[in-house]
Structure 1
């Protein structure tokens, strides 16, 4: 009985070892490509005028996407039906996108503001009844300094509402 269990385990090992090895090699390949893509994006985009936050966001997005593709491809190599996984990822992405639409809107507007630069640090702007000097632009908010307060304006507001820019 024990001998037959070992014999069965040996057959399983002989059958699965090459599949697992190929899956690990595929994932390692995607991981390596993700690392190279990180460096390439930072090198190429770093030469442009893009903000460091935008470069980091692009780099992370590419890295995450490649790793997910690597996991799904490796699982497919093992014979796992990945159609349910892909459908689940799609539904999860849709649900997260819907739930986080305001946050995602602010992030995308922040990226576009950092890329197109309609105003910069130390510019005096007026938007949606708020006025002040820009002291910080990040991916979610732009911070204005006024004589009476520090104002955080969501980037989606800056991207959709008219802005008056006075360079100082």
Structure 2
């Protein structure tokens, strides 16, 4: 009995000594892991703030894109810190990195369409073929841009409807931007009968254009004979207007030319009318 008691005491002391050694070893590992996590957390936030500030001062970088790249940097640092912490406990990090790579590949294949929209969104934000407030038109969509995101672009149609277009559909198709250039051209055609003096009608059209302050003087408005018919000549009045005033000015010019060449209320029959 005494021998058994002695063996138990010896075994207990050995177990306690081993547990104490393990506690000391893992306490340092746990302490080191906590320090790494705290430092990694603060480092990721600092790098995120620096990247966001630096990218915000780069000309041509959209705020959405700056946040996106800054977040990628932050989460990359956090993942690196997490793998390093696991290494403190003897975990084989090579297998973890391989597993993360395989998981990333699987997620990429599953979200292929979404990743295409993200890639297209990045290109749209970098190259900026259109900006918020500009009116665009593609084969499938048209409207005024209200927001350009990483996944999709929001538009407001001319009749006041909300439209959401995936970025990949806007990146992979030709886009006409009606608001980007400072000025826009407008051609207004008028049919002049053969019994009218063509030079007088040209001068009258030019006079109407030059009286409008919204029409650009450079390049100056011009009138030319666009085509000939059996009983009339088709004159074209070509002028340039600032883009924000284009719609209002062209509608007003249509009205004024109609009054000058068409039938006034209670007046005589028209000598010439705008061509259809």
What is the count of residue pairs matched by the alignment?
168
Q: State the Cα deviation string for residues 10-42 of structure 1 (Å, max 9, x = none).
A: 111122222333333333332222111111011
Structure 1: 5+ residue stretches without partners: none
TM superposition shift of 1:5: 4.0
Where does the alignment leave 5 or more consecutive residues of structure 2 unmatched? 1-7, 180-243, 245-276
1:100 aligns with 2:120: no
Q: Specify which structure has the higher proportion of helix.
A: 1
Partner secondary structure for residue 135 of structure 1: strand
1:72 corresponds to which residue? 83
Distance 1:19 1:133 in 2: 58
Residue aligning to 1:7: 17
Question: Deviations 1:64-88 (Å, cap 9, x if unpaired)?
Answer: 1100001111211321111221111
Contact 2:147 2:154 in 1 (8 A): yes
Q: Give 1:132's aligned residue.
A: 143
- Between the aligned partners of 1:4 and 1:41, the Cα distance in structure 2 is 54
Distance in 2, matches of 1:75 and 1:29, equals 15
For the residue of structure 2 that corresponds to 1:128, the secondary structure is coil
CA RMSD of aligned residues (A): 1.9
Indicate conservation of the 8 Å contact 2:136/2:176, yes or no. yes
Q: The residue matched to 2:165 in structure 1 has which SS?
A: strand
- What is the aligned counterpart of 2:175 among 159, 163, 166? 163
Distance 2:79 2:44 in 1: 10
- 1:104 shift after superposition: 1.3
Q: How does 1:7-156 map to 2 (within 5 A)?
A: 7-48=17-58, 49-148=60-159, 149-156=161-168
In the aligned structure 2, how far is the partner of 1:96 from the partner of 1:128?
A: 31
The answer to whether the 8 A contact 2:144-2:158 is kept is: no
Aligned-pair CA distance for 1:122: 1.8
Find the residue that maps to 2:130 and give its secondary structure.
coil
In the TM superposition, residue 153 of structure 1 has moved relative to its aligned partner by: 1.0
TM-score, with structure 1 as normaliser: 0.89
**TM-score if structure 2 supplies the norm length?**
0.56
Matched residue of 2:131: which SS? coil
Deviates more, 1:100-109 or 1:43-52: 43-52
- Looking at structure 1, the residues matched to 150 and 21 of structure 2 have their Cα atoms a distance apart, in angstroms, of 54
